[in-house]
Amino acid sequence: MGSTKKHFYKESQLIFSDLCKALGHPARISIVEMLSKNEHLNCSDLKSKIELSPSSISRHCHVLHRYGIIGYEVIGNNCFYRLDNNVLNQITDYVDAINRETPSITGNVYYPQKHP
């Protein structure tokens, strides 16, 4: 989105949009799910559960960290990632607020078709 158009939107909308972009890849969703079940995991732990290279895992973790969804702590030669539950709570609070203000969707929910 061009910077000239951002003034049309509320700050909360821009923040939520950024968080959705950060979560907009299945690998990042998978990392968040794994961290929700474990207090902290390093890249090797994540690699044992995701079929990605260490550099890909690191890149996805970097995106999640940049948006505040995960934090990390370096201990020795290891970087341990942890979920920031405050950010996840903000996401669910925002979605809950939308649900309270928006009438229920009836009928079928649209899911895009997978490309062959």
> Which pLDDT belongs to residue 61?
96
Residue 106 lies inside a defined structural domain of this protein: no
Which residues 6+ apart lie within 8 Å of 43 measured at CB? 54, 57, 58, 61, 78, 79
Higher pLDDT, 82 or 102: 82
- Which tens digit of pLDDT belongs to each residue from 14-59? 888 999 999 999 999 999 999 999 989 999 999 999 999 999 999 9
> Which pLDDT belongs to residue 105?
55
Residue 4 lies inside a defined structural domain of this protein: no
> Which pLDDT belongs to residue 99?
84
> Which pLDDT belongs to residue 98?
85
Residue 46 lies inside a defined structural domain of this protein: yes
CA 102/CA 105 separation, integer angstroms: 8
What is the pTM assigned to this prediction?
0.79
> Structural domain tally of the chain?
1
Residue 104 lies inside a defined structural domain of this protein: no
Residue 59 lies inside a defined structural domain of this protein: yes
Residue 24 lies inside a defined structural domain of this protein: yes
> Which pLDDT belongs to residue 13?
86
